[in-house]
Amino acid sequence: MKIAAIGDPHGNLEKIRSMRLEKVDLVLLTGDLGQTDNLRKLAFEFLGIKQPGMQERSSYAAGFKDAFIQSHRTALKLAGYIAGFCPVYIVRGNADISNYDTREFACAFGIELPYLYNDLLKINGLRLIDNRLAVFRGLRIGGVKYFTDISWAREFELDGIPVIKERALRDTQAVNRVLSRFGKLDILVTHVPPYGVLDRVDSVTVPPSWVGRHAGSGTILEYIQSKQPEYVFCGHIHEAEGYERVGRTQVYNLGTGGCKIIEM
């Protein structure tokens, strides 16, 4: 059978349409489905305001809602298009808005917002495999959603900030438990790449002190080294798109909408 793994599409449906998916039996998506450039810009601007009052909330609310709906619609359109060919397994990326975050934003701005994951799960053939094991025609496929790894916090010298360190330790422990439950996999789909493998930051959108640092997960790397799944597909650090081996494991960072078709 043929399996297509697709990297973070960020709403680029035209790129997806250029792929030969008509003879594919399964699609794996590494997260970041919708177009979120405007949404992330507005969210960061708003969060940068110290104790925003009603005036700031009102001035951001309309633009934020428009950007949110754009992200929502492009994610659903893209996922629905792919699911028209075959089953689709998805993990959540950092740019995908969780139901929890949607509630927080709706409350902050006093507006109604649709829930992405409620609507995604209405698409026939689509399955969310966040921190879950899926078996497809005998293949064991594990999914790990975006999380904050303690190795990332240390690499970027952020582990001295209590709230970040606490979250990173909690997330890392949780993913360790997930990977332990998975045991041996044929394929691991993870939004975050393994530490030191296709994870080097090189972008004008980050602080200069971050460039050249590794933004991957030590937890994911340790799992690969120990269990040696046949394939690992990831995204997140788009500029690190490429292929490497870790022992017997073939690791692909699929970047922004990159595609790798394998036969198993």
Provide the pLDDT for residue 34: 95
User: Mind listing the pLDDT tens digit for each residue in 202-226?
Assistant: 976 777 888 999 999 999 999 999 9
Provide the pLDDT for residue 248: 98
Provide the pLDDT for residue 202: 92
Which among 113, 117, 95, 111 has a CA at the least distance from the CA of 36?
Answer: 95
Report d(CA 78, CA 256) in Å as an integer: 14
User: Mind listing the pLDDT tens digit for each residue in 227-243?
Assistant: 999 999 999 999 999 99
- CB-count exposure of residue 117 (10 Å: 0-12, 13-18, 19+): middle
Whether residue 246 has pLDDT greater than 90: yes
Whether residue 70 has pLDDT greater than 90: yes
- Give the mean model confidence (pLDDT) for residues 166-188: 97
What's this model's pTM, rounded to 2 decimal places? 0.92
Whether 22 and 47 have beta carbons less than 8 Å apart is answered as no
**Assigned CATH topology for domain 2-263:** Purple Acid Phosphatase; chain A, domain 2 (3.60.21)
pLDDT winner (highest mean) among 108-112, 160-164, 260-264? 260-264
Return the C-alpha torsion angle 163, 69, 204, 241, nearest 10. 90
User: Mind listing the pLDDT tens digit for each residue in 118-142?
Assistant: 999 999 999 999 999 999 999 999 9
- Give the mean model confidence (pLDDT) for residues 34-39: 86
- Give the mean model confidence (pLDDT) for residues 183-187: 97
